[in-house]
Amino acid sequence: MARTSSSKENAQALFHSLRSAYAATPVNLKIIDLYVGFAAFTALIQVVYMASVGSFPFNSFLSGVLSCVGTAVLAVCLRIQVNKENKEFKDLPPERAFADFVLCNLVLHLVIMNFLG
Amino acid sequence: MARRLAGFLVLLLVVSICEAAFLFQPISDSHRSTALELFTPDHGSFKSLEETYEALRTFQILGIEKKPDLTATACRSISETVGSSSSTAKDLFYALKANSIAECKIDKKASKGIISRLKAAVSGASSLLDFYYSVGGLVLIKDQSSEADVHLADAEGVFRSVKAFSQSDGRWRYSSNNPESSAFAAGIALETHAGIVSLASSEIDQSLISTLKNDIIKLFDSIEKYDDGALYFDDKLVDGHEYQGPVSTTSSVLRGLTAFAAVTAENLNLPGDKILGLAKFFLGIGVPGDAKDFFNQIDSLACLESNRVSIPLILSFPSTVLSLTRKDSLKVGVSTVLGSEVPSLTVKLVGAFSSGSKDASLVESQELNFDKTSGLHILNDLPKSIDVGSYTFVFEIVLHEPKHEEVYFKGSQTKVPISVTGLIKIENSEIAVLDSDLGSIESQKKLDLAGKNAISLSANHLQKLRLSFQLTTPRGRSFKPHQAFLKLRHESKVEHIFVVGNSGKQFEIVLNFLGLVEKFFYLSGKYDMELTVGDAAMENSLLVAIGHIELDLPEAPEKAPRPPPQPVDPYSRYGPKAEITHIFRAPEKRPPQELSLAFLGLTILPLLGFLIGLLRLGVNLKNFPTKPLPATFAVLFHVGIGAVLLLYVFFWVKLDLFQTLKILGFLGGILVFVGHRILSHLAAASAKLKSA
C-alpha cells in the first residue's frame, strides 16, 4: 500500500517538476513545440479517417500523413538548431536555421502537392 | 482410188485401236451442221478470197448445197480481182481457186491478161510463195479457160529454182534470205513442183523427180506420233508469225503429196500405215471449232479419200458397252473417211480376250452378218463364253474382190475394248452372331439384299459376327466385284469399313470382336450396318442398310486410343461466337460525403488549436522592422511565401509540374533574395543587441 502510493506520488512529483521545468523554456521554443503538436494531431486525424473509410486513394493518404510528419521533423530540426542550450549549433545564427526550415518546407510541400493527386 | 483410201483408213483405224482405245468416227452430219455455222459470211461476203475459197471447197466436199447468193457474191469478187490490174499473184491465185468451184465465167480478154501476168510473175519470182501463187494460178487458169496453150517455157529452170529452197532434212525454206525451214513450206513446194510438171511443155528430167521423191521420204522421217497412232507434221515454234500449227502443216504436206502423186507415174512407195496415221490424226480432231482448222481437216480427208496411194477404211462402233440383260448385239460399221460407200466386204471377229489376260481367245473366229437396211455388220448373239466384264475384241476386214486390195488399205487386225454388263444374282445372304470358341450360332437371320432390311442383333466382345452371300453372273459363273464392303457406324458417327473376301462364289466376312475391341475404341452401343457391293459390269450394284447391332465392349483402359474427332459442323466452328460484354472494374466504394466533410472539419481543428495556443503564449509582432526598407523586405518575404503556397494550391488544382516549376523558379529566386536581405538584417540587429 505504501509502495503503490509512493509510486503514485512519485509520478505526480515527476509530472509537476516536468511542468515547471517546461515553463522555463523560451517562448520561441514553445512556439515550435506547439507547431509540432499541431502537425502530429493533424496526422493522427488523417490516420483515423483512413482507418474508418479505407485506404482508397492511398497516395492521397500517404501524401497527407507524410506532409504532417515531414513538417514536424523539420520543425524539430529547427528547434534543435535554435536552442541556445545546444552547444553543437552555437555558431549557427537562428535566422539561418529558420531560412533552412522555410526552404525545406517549401520543397517538401511541392513534392507533397505532386503526390496528392 | 476412193475405196483404196477407205480401206487404208479402216486399217489405220484398226491399228490405232491396238495402241489405245480411241475410236475414230468418220465425217457425219454433225460436221455438216457445224460447217454451216462456221462458214457464215459477214454481210453476205467473206473477208477475203482465201476464205471464200475455203468455204466453197468445204461445202463442196461435205455435199452441202451451194447457196445462190453466196455464189453470186463470190463471182462478183472474183471478177473484180480478175479484172483489176493491181491484183497480185496471190489474189489471182485465190480468185481462180474459188472460181474452180463457183464456176463463174471469165472472159477471154481477162484470162489472156491473167496468163501473161502470171507468166511474168513466174519469171520474176524470188521466194517460194511467189512461185507457188504464180504456178498454181497458171495451173488453175489452164483448167478453167478455153485457152489450151498454157505452158511454162523453162519448166526445168523453174523446177530447179524451187528445188533450190529445199533443205537436206526434207523441209523447205521460204526464201533465200530466211534460213528457217518448215514442213508447211515443204507442202507448198511439193504442190508447186506438181504444178510445174503438169505445165511443162516438154518432159522434165526424171532424175529431178526422183530427187523430189527422196525429199518426200526424208520429210516423212520427221513425222511425229501420238500414242493412239495418229501421225502428224509439226514445225518448231520459232517465230509466232510463221508458225502454222500441226493441223495446217499436216494438211499442207498432204495436199502437196497428193498433188505430186497425181502427176508422177511412179509409185511413191509410201507405207500404208503412214497414210493411215495421217487419217487418224485428222479424224481424231473431231469437229473443229475454227474455220481454218475445219477447212484443213475436210480438205485433207478429201485428199486421202481420192488419192492414188491408198484409201483407208474405218471401223466405227455405235456402242462399245453391251448389256446381257437387254440382249444387245455387237454392231460394226465400215466406211471411208468422209463416210462414203465401201466395196462389199466382210468383217470377221477373229478373237476375244479378257482385259489384261494373255490367255487364248474366248471365242472362235466367226463372220458378222451384214444387215443391208442399216448398213452395219452385226454379231447377233454374244457367245456363251462372254460373261460380264471387259474384253478386247479383235476384228479383221476381208474384201470380197482382190482388185480392191490395191485401191483400199485394210491393214491387219483391229483391237477394240468392249464392256459387257449384266445383272448379278445375290443369293443365300445371311447374317449370324457366333460364340467365339465353339463357333456355335447364337442368332442367325436371313437377309434380303435386294429389298429393305431391319435386322437387330446384339453381341458382346467374346462373340463373332458372320455375314455371307453368293454372287453369280448371268452365265452362272463366280463373280468378284470391285467393291464388297461392310461398314459399321457407331452412334457417335465413328465408322469402320471391312472388305468382304470370297472363295469362288461364296462371299463371307467374320468379325471377331475380341480382336477388334481396340480398333473400335472400346465404344459400346448401337452400330448401324451397311453393305456395299459394286462393279462397273454390274447393273444392280447395291448399297443397303442391313440393320443394327448392339455391341457390348469392355471399358476402355487408361492408355486406350481415343476415337478420332468427327468432322464438326463448319458453321458451328467457324461461325460467329457469343458476344462478349466488357465488365468494367467496379469503382471503389467511397465514403459518404458527409463523413468526409466532417473529417475535413476535424482536420482544421488542430490548426485552430495552434493559433489559440500561439495567442496564449503571447505571440507579438514587436520584432517587426520599423524602418521602411527592411519593412518592405519583410512584407515581401511573407508575401513571397504566401505566393508559393498559393502556387502549390494552383498546382494541385490545375497546373502541371513543368509550369509549376517554371513559376516556382521565378518566385523562388525573388524569395531567396528577399529572405536573405531580411534575415541578415534581423541577424545583424540581434548581434548588435547581444554585443550591446
Cross-chain residue pair A95–B668, CB shorter than 8 Å? no
* Residue of B657, B666, B679, B691 best to disrupt the A interface, most CBs of A under 10 A: B679
- The answer to whether the CB of B295 falls within 8 A of the CB of B53 is no
Nearest Cβ partner for B683 among A53, A54, A95: A95
Q: What is the 3-state secondary structure (H, E, C) of A29-95?
A: HHHHHHHHHHHHHHHHHHHHHHHHHCCCCHHHHHHHHHHHHHHHHHHHHHHHHHCCCCCCCCCCCHH
Specify the pLDDT at position B44.
64
Average pLDDT over residues B49-64: 83
Peptide linkage before A57 cis (omega within 30 of 0): yes
- CA neighbours closer than 13 Å in the CB half-sphere of residue B84: 12
| Chain A, window 31-50: residues with a beta carbon less than 8 angstroms from a chain B beta carbon | 31, 34-35, 37-39, 41-42, 45-46, 48-49
Phi and psi at residue B606, in whole multiples of 5°? -60, -35
User: What count of other Cβ atoms lies within 10 Å of the Cβ of residue B564?
Assistant: 9
Closest chain B residue by Cα to residue A108 = B648
Instruction: Say whether residue B588 is in contact with chain A using an 8 A CB cutoff.
Output: yes
* Residue of A92, A96, A113, A115 best to disrupt the B interface, most CBs of B under 10 A: A113
d(CA A76, CA B629): 32
Q: Is B341 left (phi over 0), alpha (psi -120 to 50) or beta?
A: beta
Helices B2-19 + B291-305 axis angle, to 10: 110
Specify the pLDDT at position B239.
67
pLDDT digits (tens, 9 = 90+) for B664-680: 999 999 999 998 888 88
What's the pLDDT band for B129 if we cut at 50, 70, 90? confident
Residue of B392, B404, B382, B318 whose CA lies nearest to B352: B392
Cross-chain residue pair B610–A34, CB shorter than 8 Å? yes
Cross-chain residue pair A54–B591, CB shorter than 8 Å? yes
Instruction: Say whether residue A27 is in contact with chain B using an 8 A CB cutoff.
Output: yes
Contact partners, residue B635, CB within 8 Å, separation at least 6: none
User: What count of other Cβ atoms lies within 10 Å of the Cβ of residue B10?
Assistant: 35
pLDDT digits (tens, 9 = 90+) for A89-106: 888 888 889 999 999 999
Considering only residues B180 and B510, tell me which one the structure prediction assigns the higher pLDDT: B510
Instruction: Say whether residue B595 is in contact with chain A using an 8 A CB cutoff.
Output: yes
Closest chain B residue by Cα to residue A95 = B679
pLDDT digits (tens, 9 = 90+) for B215-235: 888 888 888 888 777 788 888
Residue of B88, B101, B97 whose CA lies nearest to B129: B88
- The answer to whether the CB of B92 falls within 8 A of the CB of B82 is yes
d(CA A68, CA A63): 9
Q: What is the CA radius of gyration of chain A?
A: 19
Domains and CATH numbers, chain B: 27-147 (no CATH), 151-235+242-271 (no CATH), 314-421 (2.60.40), 425-568 (2.60.40), 629-682 (no CATH)
Domain boundaries, chain A: 26-115
Cross-chain residue pair A113–B651, CB shorter than 8 Å? yes
Cross-chain residue pair B641–A102, CB shorter than 8 Å? yes
Cross-chain residue pair A95–B680, CB shorter than 8 Å? yes
Instruction: Say whether residue A58 is in contact with chain B using an 8 A CB cutoff.
Output: no
Helix/strand/coil for B417 = strand
Helix/strand/coil for B523 = coil
Alpha helices (H) in B382-448, listed in sequence order: 404-407
Contact partners, residue B476, CB within 8 Å, separation at least 6: none
d(CA B416, CA B23): 8
d(CA B465, CA A16): 113
Distance from CA of B649 to the nearest CA of A (A): 8
Q: What is the CA radius of gyration of chain B?
A: 53
Cell of B384: 456363251
Average pLDDT over residues B113-124: 83
Entry pTM = 0.55
pLDDT digits (tens, 9 = 90+) for B278-316: 887 888 888 888 888 888 888 888 888 776 666 777 778
- CA neighbours closer than 13 Å in the CB half-sphere of residue B499: 6
Average pLDDT over residues B547-554: 88
- Chain A positions in Cβ-Cβ contact with residue B644 (cut-off 8 Å): 106
Instruction: Say whether residue A90 is in contact with chain B using an 8 A CB cutoff.
Output: no
Instruction: Say whether residue B596 is in contact with chain A using an 8 A CB cutoff.
Output: yes
d(CA A69, CA A52): 20
- Chain B positions in Cβ-Cβ contact with residue A102 (cut-off 8 Å): 641, 675
- CA neighbours closer than 13 Å in the CB half-sphere of residue B157: 8
- As beta bridge partners, residue B226 has none
